[in-house]
Amino acid sequence: MGQYLACFKAYDVRGKVPGELNPEIARAIGRAYARQTGAKTVCVGYDIRLSGPELAEALTGGLNEEGTSVVDLGMVGTEMVYFATAAYGYDGGVMITASHNPPEYNGMKMVRQESRPISGDTGLYDIEKDAADILAGQVAPGGKSATNSKKDAYPDFVQHLLQVCPPSGLKGFKVLASPGNGAAGVAMEALMPHVPLQVTKMMFEPDGHFPNGVPNPILEESRAPVVEAMKTGQYDLGIAWDGDYDRCFFVDERGEFIEGYYLVGLLAQSILADNPGAAIIYDPRLTWNTLEIVEQHGGRPVMCKSGHAFIKEKMRAENAVYGGEMSAHHYFKSHWYCDSGMIPMLLTLRLMAQTGKSLGELVGGMMDRYPCSGEINSTVADVKATLAAVEAKYQGGEIDRTDGLSIEFQDWRFNLRGSNTEPVIRLNVETRGDKNLLAAKTEEILAIVRG
C-alpha cells in the first residue's frame, strides 16, 4: 500500500467515505496515533456526519489494541475535543469531522497533551506512514490492555465558556442562531439556560443528512437564510456556524454579512480591554484594519503565516491572548490557544452591551476605512509561475513573503497565496477607503492570474 494515504492532508485527515476513509483505515490510524504519541488516555468525539460513530468505534478499537484507553465524548464540536483534552488532562484527543466538506466526506483532527496540534510538521506524516505500514500487515498489534468510558463534557464546557466570557450585560439581546443542522445546536441548547439572551432557533436539529445543505456560511448560499431573516429587523445579531462549529459567522442587524477580517479587529478590541499591552496574532491576507485597532487599544500586533498550527505555535511563543484569521478562525489563550466558534459570539455580544452599539455600528467605520475584496479563488496551472508574473507587474511596492506574496503600496495592498492541497490561488485586496481603487486593482490582478 505504500507509506502514503489519500486521506492525510497538511493539517488533518480528510477523505471520501468509504473509498479514502473507512473503519479499516480508522482502526489503523488509531493504532498509529497510539504508537507515535505514546498516549495512555485519549478522548474521541464526532460531529453530525452519519459515518462518525462507526469511524469512532474503529478508531477506538485501534487505540485499544496499542494499550490506549479512550474517553467517548459522543457528538460534540471540535472545540470541545480541544477543551476536554486540556481541561481533563488527557494525553490527546481526536475529533472526527470533515468540517464544511460534502456529506460523503469525513476526517480527523488530532491533538496531543494541552491540545497542541498534530499537523504535517509535528507528527502527522509519521502517523500516516505508520498507519500505511499497519494496513500492509507489517506491524503486529501491541496487545496491551485498555479501558474505555463515556464522558458528557457539555456541563463543564459551558462553565468554561462562562468563565472566559461572563454573560453579565447581555440581557435583552435578540439573537438569531443557525447551526445549519450541524453540531452547534447541541452546544447552544446546553449554553442557553445560562445566558440572558432571547435566542431564535434556525436549523437547530443536528442532522447528518444535511437537509439544508452542508453548513459552510462562508458561502453566500449557505448563509442566505440567516441574511434574509436578519433583514426583517427583528434581531440584534445573526450567528451561523459550520458543521463542527470551530468557525462562526456574523450577520448584523440590517442583514449584512460581516467579513471575518473585521471580526479580528473587533475581537482584538474586546480582549485588549481586559489585557492591556498584550500580543495579538494576525495573518497576512488582510492587515491594515487589525493593525490600526490593535495599536489604538495598546496591543502588540504580531504577523503569522495562515493556518491553525502556525497561529497556535506563534501564540505560545509570543504569549498572545488572541489570534485571528480572516477565514473566521479565532484563537484564545484562555482556550488553550485553540480556535472556538462559541467564544467569539459571547465576546461580540459583550462588546455590544458595553458600548451600546450594534454590530453594524461597531464595524461600519472599519469597513469604510479599509474596504476589502474578500477572498477570491482562481484555478491556475502553475501557482509559482502565477506569483512570479504578478510580482513582476507590481514593482516598487513593499514585499512580504510571510505567506505567499504580499505587496503594499501607499493606498492599497494585496496578498496572493497558493493552496496547500490544490492548484488554486487565493487573492485578497484592500485599500485605504477607496472602493473604486479596490475594484480596479482586484480586476487588474485577476486579469494576470486568470490570463
Report the chain's mean pLDDT, rounded to a whole number.
96
Identify whether residues 411 and 444 lie together within a single domain: yes
pTM for the complete prediction?
A: 0.96
Is residue 135 in a domain?
A: yes
pLDDT-based confidence at 143, cuts 50/70/90? confident
Q: Please write the tens of the pLDDT for every residue from 381-419.
A: 999 999 999 999 999 999 999 999 999 999 999 999 998
Mean pLDDT over residues 318-339, rounded? 97
Given 257, 286, 307, which residue is the final one in a domain?
257
- State the pLDDT at residue 171: 87
Identify whether residues 97 and 177 lie together within a single domain: no
- State the pLDDT at residue 3: 65
Cβ neighbors of 209 (< 8 A, separation 6 or more) are 50, 103
- State the pLDDT at residue 108: 98
Q: Is 99 a catalytic residue?
A: yes
Given 257, 283, 311, which residue is the final one in a domain?
257
The answer to whether residues 341 and 247 touch, using CB atoms and an 8 Å cutoff, is yes
What length is written for the chain? 451
- Rounded CA gap, 87 and 80, in Å? 10
Q: Which of 99, 178, 340, 406 is catalytic?
A: 99
pLDDT-based confidence at 336, cuts 50/70/90? very high
If one counts the domains in the chain, the total is: 3
- State the pLDDT at residue 81: 98
Q: Please write the tens of the pLDDT for every residue from 170-215.
A: 988 999 999 999 999 999 999 999 999 999 999 999 999 999 999 9
| In the predicted structure, residue 255 carries a pLDDT above the cut 70 | yes
pLDDT-based confidence at 68, cuts 50/70/90? very high
Is residue 289 in a domain?
A: no
* CATH at 420: 3.30.310.50
| In the predicted structure, residue 436 carries a pLDDT above the cut 70 | yes
Is residue 335 in a domain?
A: no
| In the predicted structure, residue 274 carries a pLDDT above the cut 60 | yes
> What is the β-pairing status of strands 237-241 and 174-178?
parallel
- State the pLDDT at residue 2: 46
- State the pLDDT at residue 419: 87
Given 239, 257, 275, which residue is the final one in a domain?
257
Q: Which domain, by its residues, includes 85?
A: 13-153
Identify whether residues 80 and 61 lie together within a single domain: yes
Q: Please write the tens of the pLDDT for every residue from 213-250.
A: 999 999 999 999 999 999 999 999 999 999 999 999 99
| In the predicted structure, residue 429 carries a pLDDT above the cut 90 | yes
Is residue 183 in a domain?
A: yes
Identify whether residues 222 and 174 lie together within a single domain: yes
| In the predicted structure, residue 1 carries a pLDDT above the cut 70 | no
Identify whether residues 45 and 103 lie together within a single domain: yes
Mean pLDDT over residues 273-295, rounded? 97
* CATH at 232: 3.40.120.10
Q: Can you give the three-state secondary structure of the chain, one letter per residue?
A: CCCCCCCECCCCEEEECCCCCCHHHHHHHHHHHHHHHCCCEEEEEECCCCCHHHHHHHHHHHHHHECCEEEEEEECCHHHHHHHHHHCCCCEEEEECCCCCCCCEEEEEEECHHHCECCHHHHHHHHHHHHHHHHCCCCCCCCECCCEEECCCHHHHHHHHHHHCCCCCCCCCEEEEECCCCCHHHHHHHHHHHCCCEEEECCCCCCCCCCCCCCCCCCHHHHHHHHHHHCCCCCCEEEEECCCCCCEEEECCCCCEECHHHHHHHHHHHHHCCCCCCEEEECCCCCHHHHHHHHHCCCEEEECCCCHHHHHHHHHHHCCCEEECCCCCEEEHHHCCEECCCHHHHHHHHHHHHHCCCHHHHHHHHHHHCCECCCEEEECCCHHHHHHHHHHHCCCCEEECCCCEEEECCCEEEEEEECCCCCEEEEEEEECCCHHHHHHHHHHHHHHHHC
Is residue 72 in a domain?
A: yes
- Rounded CA gap, 114 and 131, in Å? 24
pLDDT-based confidence at 420, cuts 50/70/90? confident
The answer to whether residues 374 and 428 touch, using CB atoms and an 8 Å cutoff, is yes
